[in-house]
Amino acid sequence: MKTLIPIFIIFSFIIIKSQDRNVVSQITKESLIKTVSILSSKEFDGRLPGSEGYDKAAKFVANKFLEMKLKPFGDAGYFQFLNVEYNRIDTPVIFEAIIDSETISYKHGKDFVLRGFSGANSFTLPVAFCGYGISRPDLGYDDYQNVNVKNKIVIVFKQNPKWKIDNKEWGNSYPREKSLIAKQQGAKGILFVSLPNDEKPQPLIGSVLHGDGEQPTDFPQLHISIEAANQLLRKVGLTINECQTKIDEKKKPFSFLTRTKAKVITTTYYQKEAKTMNVVALLEGSEPVLKNEYVVIGAHLDHVGSQAGLLFPGANDNASGSAGVLEIAKAFVADKVKPKRSIIFVLFASEEQGLNGSKHFVENLIVPKEKIVAMLNLDCIGYGDSIQVGNGKSSPKLWEIAKEINDKNFKLMVNDTWSGGGADATPFHEKGIPSLYFISKYSYDHLHLPTDTVETLNPDLFEKIVKLAFLTAKQTADGNYQREEVK
């Protein structure tokens, strides 16, 4: 059987190549780029779930599904509703260092950004450096043990140490956990700084991946540059690099008062439960038995929004994947030969906050789980130089279909893959549903930055990835793939 499968795939693919060229040609880089330009525009304000901008994006997608005459497949029309935490960041936003009589004003977006779940407050207070911001007395490590941070602002490393004590995990490194620890110690705000000794320290990204726990609504949370951190440490004659080195070498806390102050003003609006939505449509299959089996084609529609006028457009992440799903849907609708299996097209909300939309979708399936034969996820497919298809080690037969199609057409797909899902494919994988994750290689140069704009995309690569995903979906939906056991 193992020797027959590749032969069958190649034969099926030849049929696709000779008879369905016009259908594949429906997928164009011009159309893809046009959709990304719309979704990443200021009108949609970074597509943060719970916001007016995200709602506009969801309505845009729903209208596209309606134009294609796809069947609504949500709770109400095309919308499948869920609740998420929502935090809007308004003006004014101010961050200044006060060193003796000198005041240094920092530029929002260049020298600092706010965490997506920053609280709101206004104060000028002394600054303390508190290492990794960890309090684990059970491990004999506490960055707050020998420093009084009451009514102060703390600087901490955003990430956790790469080393361990007694091979024990530190817990999660989410900003909310570190913020709540600092607040419990009496601090009034927190300044995160990326690990300066990393080969490529994390830039000032916009992010709403924040972790569990109650939102400290009066506790400002900023991510500051390494340069700004060094200026705040200037009075003690240390650099932030030296501080990390000292802690890492001795594996002991090194916390102190910096003898400087900082002025922080943040303005936010928080909702614990804000309504948002996945956008879901159905193309019914043509074969009487197989139409009761389903292929899911999805991407996350959301991004991280904006803060005080600073826009994170999210062109590659993930207006590109969203445009890809719409383009694939358009190609299937244009095909005179309808797929035998039914296809569910879904644009997920709140991937950036922790896969909330896709988790909600799989936990509230409107078709039997065992009837979903495959899920194809598109995420960050517009920037880079080659194609990677993830989760191939967990769904190898499905991955081989994509690889055969690529090898006969595009020759852009790398052999590297992984297991365990990835992004919005993860909840499907965890339910035992075979899944693939289409992504462009070297896709993250502009990840969560204001520079993730449509102008940075690689249109030719973008088009080829979407065509590969479409042809893989077509093979699967036409019955040329039988659901495999997920590894």
- Decide if pLDDT at 244 tops 50: yes
Nearest residue to 49 via CA among 82, 24, 95: 82
CA distance 377 to 302: 14
Asked if the peptide bond before residue 49 counts as cis, ω within 30 degrees of 0, the response is no
pLDDT of 9 over the 70 cut: no
Q: Which of 231, 240, 239, 238 is nearest to 260 (CA)?
A: 231
The model's pLDDT over 152-207, given as tens digits with 9 standing for 90+, comes to 999 999 999 999 999 999 987 899 999 999 999 999 999 999 999 999 999 999 99
CA distance 266 to 121: 5
List, in order, residues 6 or more apart from 369 with CB less than 8 Å away: 362, 431, 432, 433
Give the CA count within 13 Å in the CB-facing half-sphere of 303: 36
Asked if 463 contacts 27 with a C-beta cutoff of 8 angstroms, the reply is yes
d(CA 452, CA 352): 15
What is the Cα–Cα distance from 126 to 68, expressed in whole angstroms?
59
Neighbours of 187 (CB within 10 A): 23
CA of 114: how far to CAs of 62, 86, 106, 260, 432, in Å?
Answer: 32, 14, 12, 21, 38
Instruction: Specify the pLDDT at position 22.
Output: 81
* pLDDT of 10: 39
Please give, one letter per residue, the 3-state secondary structure of the chain. CCCHHHHHHHHHHHHHHHHCHHHHCCCCHHHHHHHHHHHCCHHHCCCCCCCHHHHHHHHHHHHHHHHCCCEECCCECCEEEEEEEEEEEEEEEEEEEEECCEEEECCECCCEEECCCCCCEEEEEEEEECCCCCEEHHHCEECCCCCCCCCCEEEEECCCCCCCECCECCCCCCHHHHHHHHHHCCCCEEEEECCCCCCCCCCCCCCCCCCCCCCCCCCCEEEECHHHHHHHCHHHCCCHHHHHHHHHHHCCCCCEEEEEEEEEEEEEEEEEEEEEEEEEEEECCCCCCHHHCEEEEEEECCCCCEECCEECCCHHHHHHHHHHHHHHHHHHHHCCCCCCCEEEEEEECCCCCCCHHHHHHHHCCCCCHHHEEEEEEECCCCCCCEEEEECCCCCHHHHHHHHHHHHHHCCCECCCCCCCCCHHHHHHHHCCCCEEEEEEECCCCCCCCCCCCHHHCCHHHHHHHHHHHHHHHHHHHCCCCCCCCCC
- Does the pTM surpass 0.85? The reply is yes
Percent of the chain exceeding pLDDT 70 equals: 96
At residue 294, φ and ψ (nearest 5 deg) are -135, 145
Average pLDDT, the chain: 95
384-413: pLDDT as tens digits:
999 999 999 999 999 999 999 999 999 999
Distance CA 439, CA 37 (A): 19
* pLDDT (0 to 100) of residue 171: 83
Q: What one-letter code names the amino acid at 396?
A: P
State the pairing for strand pair 342-348/294-300. Answer: parallel
- Residue 5 clears pLDDT 90, i.e. is over it: no
Quick one: pLDDT at residue 14? 39
Alpha-carbon 437 to chain mean position: 13
pLDDT tens sequence across 440-470: 999 999 999 999 999 999 999 999 999 999 9
- Does the pLDDT at position 272 exceed 60? yes
Amino acid code (one letter) for 59: K
Q: CA-CA distance, 432 to 368, in Å (whole number)?
A: 12
Question: In the structure, what pLDDT confidence band is assigned to residue 70 with cuts at 50, 70 and 90?
Answer: very high
Kindly report the number of other CB atoms within 10 A of residue 258's CB atom. Answer: 24
Cβ(294)–Cβ(373) under 8 Å? yes
Confirm if 71 and 282 have CB atoms less than 8 A apart.
yes
Distance of CA 245 to the CA centre of its chain: 31
